[in-house]
Structure 1
């Protein structure tokens, strides 16, 4: 894993909208330091960094970076019904590959 990806992952989940502006700016700069495309392993690690909300759009930038991974992205398990919106978004955008409608109803 590249150092800039590791630094972002080690910093933990994105803060919420109540965070200090400096923290939000720092996380955005960390994210900008990661060049696309990401590897499948990096995409999987980055997917664990979503916070409770969109963090002033930083979460959407993170999602788009994850989607730059070449080929198939890492497997994503169906989130629990009470999982946060980001895990549901990832599932809806790239977790269902190869599944049929019947698979999704179970």
Structure 2
């Protein structure tokens, strides 16, 4: 069972690019990230790793990364399987 804030983040989907992000959407994501209780579960980490966008989205990607790393099973081998991008690479590097 996922926390409501994590479920909502998953519903919203990946973080937008900073160049197209709108203030109301960013405010909602920021508030949701702040509501997530840590440590998150391994299943929540698996869901959250799919939410990285093309850039740091005004720092929200860092908040997401730090939440993921609170999972007790992190690094979770299967969580990053098949995923690519700057933030996924950063998670892999930090887990090594």
TM-score when normalising by structure 2: 0.85
Q: Which has the higher contact order (CA 8 A, sep 6+)?
A: 2
Is the contact between residue 4 and residue 30 of structure 1 (CA under 8 Å) also seen in structure 2?
Answer: yes
**What CA deviation, in whole Å up to 9, does each residue of 1:26-47 have, x standing for no partner?**
1111111111110111111100
Which of 65, 77, 81 aligns to 1:77? It is 81
Tell me, in whole angstroms, the C-alpha distance in 2 between the residues paired with 1:9 and 1:53.
18
Which of 31, 36, 39 aligns to 1:37? It is 39
RMSD: 1.6
Unmatched 5+ stretches in structure 2: none
Of stretches 17-26 and 5-14 in structure 1, the one that deviates more from structure 2 is 17-26
Tell me, in whole angstroms, the C-alpha distance in 2 between the residues paired with 1:15 and 1:26.
13
Match of 1:17 in 2: 18
Unmatched 5+ stretches in structure 1: 97-106
Q: Which has the higher helix share?
A: 2
TM-score when normalising by structure 1: 0.78
Match of 1:57 in 2: 59
Distance 1:84 1:71, change over 3 A: closer
Tell me, in whole angstroms, the C-alpha distance in 2 between the residues paired with 1:39 and 1:4.
13
Is the contact between residue 9 and residue 45 of structure 1 (CA under 8 Å) also seen in structure 2?
Answer: yes
Tell me, in whole angstroms, the C-alpha distance in 1 between the residues paired with 2:70 and 2:64.
10
